[in-house]
Amino acid sequence: MSNKDWLMVFLLGLFWGSSFLFNEILLKHISPISIAFMRVAVSAMILIPFIITKYGIKILTLSDIFNLTIMGVINNILPFSLIAFGQQFTTGGLASILNASTSFFTIIVASIFLTNEKLTTKRLLGVLIGVLGVSIAVGFDEIFSDMNQGFGKYVILLGSLSYAFAVVWGKLKLSHLKPMIAATGMLTASSLIMLPIIGYGYMNELTVLNIDIIAIIILFAIIANVLAYFLYFKILESAGAGNLQICTIIIPPAAIILNALILGELITKTEIMGLMIIVVGLVILDGRALRYLKSR
C-alpha cells in the first residue's frame, strides 16, 4: 500500500473506533435506540443530497429495496442499538475489543453461506485464537457462570454477529449496486424503519436535547458513518478488500486511547491480554505477515 492508503486505513480505524466514545457520551443523555436512530437518520440526510448530485435520482427495484431494508436492519439498526445498549454495562474500550470478533464471526458465517469462502486450516486457526482472545476479554468466570453476569458483553457480541451476517448479505444481494448508493439506501431504510418506533416511545427525549448534544450527534454521524463510508470505499478502490482487514486491528486500540484520553476510562490487564490474542488471530486471518515470514 502507498503512504496515502496507510493514512486512509489508519483514519478509518480511528473514525470507527470513535463510535464507542460517542456512544459513551450520548448514553448519559439518550437511550441506545435513540442513539442508533439519530446516527442513521443524520447520515442519510447528509448522503442523500450527495448521491442525487453525483448519480442523479435512481429508481431501485422492489428487490433492491427489500435487500437494502434487510441490510439496514442487520448492518445498522441491530448492531448500532445492541452495541450502544451493551455499553451501558461495560466500557467503550472493552466494547471495541469484543466488536473485533466481527471478523471471526464473518469467517464462520461466510463459510456456511458463500461457496467461495471455505473454512481453511489457516482461517480456522485464526478464528480459534480470536475466540480465545474474546473469551479472555469477557472473562472465563462470566462465560461459565450465571448469564446475567456481564450481560452487556454478550449483547455487544450479538451486535458483532449481526455485522457478520450483513457482510454476507451484502455480497449475496447488493454487489451489483454502486457502493455509496447501497450505503445511502440502507441508512435511509434504517431511518424509515426506526421512525415509528422513535415517534411512539422515544420522541420526548429527543425533543429536549440541547444544542451541544445535537452537535455531538451530528459529529458522530459525520465521522463514524459519512466520512467512514467515503474512506472505506476509497480504500476498497485503491488498495483492495484485503487491506481493509488492517482497519479491524486499529479500531480497538483507537477506541481505548480515545476513551482513556477523553473520558478517563481504564482497561484491565485481562482485557489487554484478550486484545493482544485477538490481534494475533486477525493477523493470521489476514495472512500477509505469515507469507512474509515464509519468504524470508
Burial of 174 (0-12, 13-18, 19+ CB in 10 A): buried
Section 253-266 average pLDDT? 90
Q: How many CB atoms lie within 10 A of CB 34?
A: 24
CA–CA dist 51, 288 (Å, integer): 36
Section 242-257 average pLDDT? 80
SS3 of residue 89 by DSSP: coil
Model confidence band, residue 241 (pLDDT cutoffs 50, 70, 90):
low
Model confidence band, residue 27 (pLDDT cutoffs 50, 70, 90):
very high
Q: How many CB atoms lie within 10 A of CB 86?
A: 26
- Taking only the tens place, the pLDDT of each residue in 82-98 is 999 999 988 888 899 88
Helices of type H across 239-287: 244-263, 269-286
Q: What is the DSSP letter of 57?
A: -
| C-beta separation of 100 from 20 below 8 A | no
Section 33-42 average pLDDT? 96
Section 100-112 average pLDDT? 87
* Chain length of the chain: 296
- Taking only the tens place, the pLDDT of each residue in 174-195 is 989 988 999 999 999 999 999 9
Distances (CA, A) of 177 to 61, 170, 182, 262: 11, 10, 6, 39
Mean pLDDT of the chain: 86
Residue written as grid cell 458483532 = 160
47: Cβ–Cβ under 8 A, 6 or more apart, which residues?
180, 183, 184, 187, 226, 229
Note the pLDDT of residue 81. 97
CA–CA dist 73, 15 (Å, integer): 22
Domain range list for the chain: 21-217+263-295
201 has pLDDT over 80: yes
| C-beta separation of 219 from 26 below 8 A | no
Handedness of CA 18, 269, 95, 113 (dihedral sign): positive
Model confidence band, residue 243 (pLDDT cutoffs 50, 70, 90):
low
Note the pLDDT of residue 142. 55
Angle between helices 102-113 and 269-286 (to 10 degrees): 40
Note the pLDDT of residue 265. 86
